Amino acid sequence: MIILDGKALSSQIKSQIKTQTQELKTKHNITPGLAVILVGDDPASHTYVKMKEKACKEVGFYSIVHKMPESISQKEIEETILMMNENPNIDGILVQLPLPSHIDTTRILELIDPKKDVDGFHPYNFGRLVQGLDTFAPCTPLGVMELLDHYKIDPKGLNVCVVGASNIVGKPMMALLLNRFATVDICHIYTKNLQSHTREADMVVVGVGKPNLITSEMVKEGAIVVDIGINRLEDGRLVGDVDFENVSKKASYITPVPGGVGPMTIAMLLKNTLKAARKRIHS
């Protein structure tokens, strides 16, 4: 069994991005800029945003966080996004989800200029992803693909079961795998007999936010297991959606939680922002 170490790979990627950012500054006087909108006081959201800020600083990006109160109006958020769309120093715009219930999240995400949509959530970018065209792919599924590539795991011809059908993880994960000629089976909360799907798969990719959802009986011997879930237990421990201790005994490759897909998400956000900044050279 081989551990897919996202922590080590993300450090490697960040180091490359730092070098490439320095070159961009030296040759073209361009500093990649990332703007984040953070609404309310959700502790998890604040933690994620701090991690993103720290990562930007590490690689030499310019970053700004617009912190807004829970009571902020739809109009005020929209005006901030329109302002950032026009700002030539901002290459990437990221809205930290979830937003408060009174905000129309779809409308907010659709307002972001697709050229600055480094989260890959805009319908324009998602459509291009499904068609296999160059675009910004959502960071978590993109991080999974990067991890597979690093460990020379080729999805072509594999039967892959994706558990979770969210717009942020499951659906783009399915599209990325299909584009690499995997045969993809996607499951969700209404799937009957989940085990009958996961047990037949060469690779199981899960991201639903339910501790120990995937047990050893649910995977076949030698399966590749990618755990995108992150859950905090009452005792404070962070765990994924996979019963790591028992599933790892059967898996050929497995991601740990923490230290697997999580660090890759931020590395891909940086990669997407650098990609957006490079487009300034020819504009």
Q: In angstroms, rounded to a whole number, what is the distance separating the alpha carbons of residues 35 and 183?
A: 37
Q: Is 119 a catalytic residue?
A: yes
Phi-psi region of 203 (alpha: psi -120 to 50; beta: other; left: phi over 0): beta
By CB atoms closer than 10 A (0-12, 13-18, 19+), residue 227 is buried
Q: Report yes or no: 238 and 232 within 8 Å, Cβ to Cβ.
A: yes
Choice among 52, 116, 171, 271 that is catalytic: 52
Q: Which of 96, 115, 171, 243 is catalytic?
A: 96
State the number of CA atoms in the 13 A half-sphere of 157 facing the CB. Answer: 2
Selected catalytic residue, list 91, 115, 117, 119: 119
Residue 128, helix vs strand vs coil: helix
DSSP classification of residue 216: G
In the block, residue with structure tokens 């979770």: 164
Q: Shortest CA distance to 120 belongs to which of 277, 282, 273, 230?
A: 273
Identify which of 12, 6, 21 has the alpha carbon closest to the alpha carbon of residue 273.
21
Task: Give yes or no for a contact between 137 and 269, defined as CB atoms under 8 angstroms apart.
Answer: no
Q: Which amino acid is at 15?
A: S
Listed in sequence order, the DSSP H helices in the chain are: 6-28, 43-59, 74-86, 105-111, 123-130, 139-150, 170-179, 194-198, 244-247, 261-278
Structure token digits, residue 139: 């960071």
Q: Which residues are catalytic?
A: 52, 96, 119
